[in-house]
Amino acid sequence: MGKYAETFRRSIDDPEGFWMEQAALVNWFRRPTRALDDSNPPLYRWFPDGTLNTCFNALDRHVAAGRGEQVALIYDSPVTGSQQSLTYEGLTERVAALAGALRQLGVAKGDRVLIYMPMVPEAVMAMLACARLGAVHSVVFGGFAASELAARIDDAEPVVIVAASCGVEASKVIEYKPMLDKALSLASHQPRTCVMLQRPQAEAKLDESRDVDFELAMRSGADDPAECVPVLATDPLYVLYTSGTTGKPKGIVRDNGGHAVAMAWSMTNLYDIHPGQVWWTASDVGWVVGHSYIVYAPLLIGATTVMYEGKPVGTPDAGAFWRVMAEHRVEAFFTAPTAMRAIKKEDPHGELMAGHDLSALRTVFLAGERLDTDTYAWATEQVGVPVVDHWWQTETGWAIVGNLRGLEPMPLKPGSPSVPVPGWDVRILDEHGQPVSAGTDGAICVRLPLPPGALPTLWGDDERFVSSYLSAFDGYYLSGDGGHVDEDGYVYVMGRTDDVINVSGHRMSTGVIEGVLASHPAVAECAVIGVSDPMKGQVPRGFVVLKADVDVDPDELTKELVAAVRDEVGPVAVFRSVSIVPALPKTRSGKILRKSMREIADGKDPLVPSTIEDPGVLDTLRPMLRDS
Give pLDDT tens digits for 111-149: 999 999 999 999 999 999 999 999 999 999 886 789 889
Q: What pLDDT score was predicted for residue 17?
A: 97
Residue 129 confidence (pLDDT): 98
User: Please, which residues bridge with residue 76 across strands?
Assistant: 83, 308
CB–CB of 262/243 below 8 Å? no
Distance CA 599, CA 594 (A): 9
Helix (H, G, I), strand (E, B) or coil at 208: coil
Read off the pTM: 0.86
Indicate the SS3 state at residue 51.
Answer: strand
Compute the distance between CA of residue 204 and CA of residue 218 in angstroms, rounded to an integer: 18
Q: What is the pLDDT of residue 375?
A: 87
User: End-to-end CA distance of the chain, in Å?
Assistant: 43
| pLDDT, position 499 | 62
pLDDT by residue (tens digit) across 58-95? 999 999 999 999 999 999 999 999 999 999 999 999 99
Q: Are strands 160-164 and 136-139 parallel, antiparallel or unpaired?
A: unpaired
143 closest CA partner among 508, 539, 543, 561: 508
Query: What is the distance between the alpha carbons of residues 501 and 374, in angstroms, rounded to a whole number?
Result: 21
Domain with CATH 3.30.300.30 in the chain: 500-626
Pick the CATH number of 2-310+390-466 from 1.10.150.20, 3.40.50.12780, 2.160.10.10, 3.10.105.10: 3.40.50.12780
Q: Nearest 10 degrees: CA dihedral of 287, 468, 450, 133?
A: 50
Q: CA separation (Å) from 431 to 466, 480, 482, 494, 591?
A: 18, 13, 11, 16, 19
Sign of the alpha-carbon dihedral angle for 105, 106, 107, 108? positive
Rounded Cα–Cα distance for residues 180 and 518 (Å):
25
Side-chain half-sphere exposure of 438, counting CA atoms within 13 A: 5
Fold of 500-626: GMP Synthetase; Chain A, domain 3 (3.30.300)
Instruction: State the Cα–Cα distance between residues 488 and 45, nearest whole angstrom.
Output: 32
pLDDT at 593: 86
Q: Name the segment(s) of the chain with CATH classification 3.40.50.12780.
A: 2-310+390-466
- pLDDT value at position 318? 95
Measure the CA dihedral 284/258/64/72, to 10°.
-10
Which residue in 319, 232, 304 sits closest to 267, CA to CA? 304
Question: Which residues of the chain carry a pLDDT beneath 70?
Answer: 1, 143, 243-247, 498-500, 507, 509, 587-591, 609-611, 628
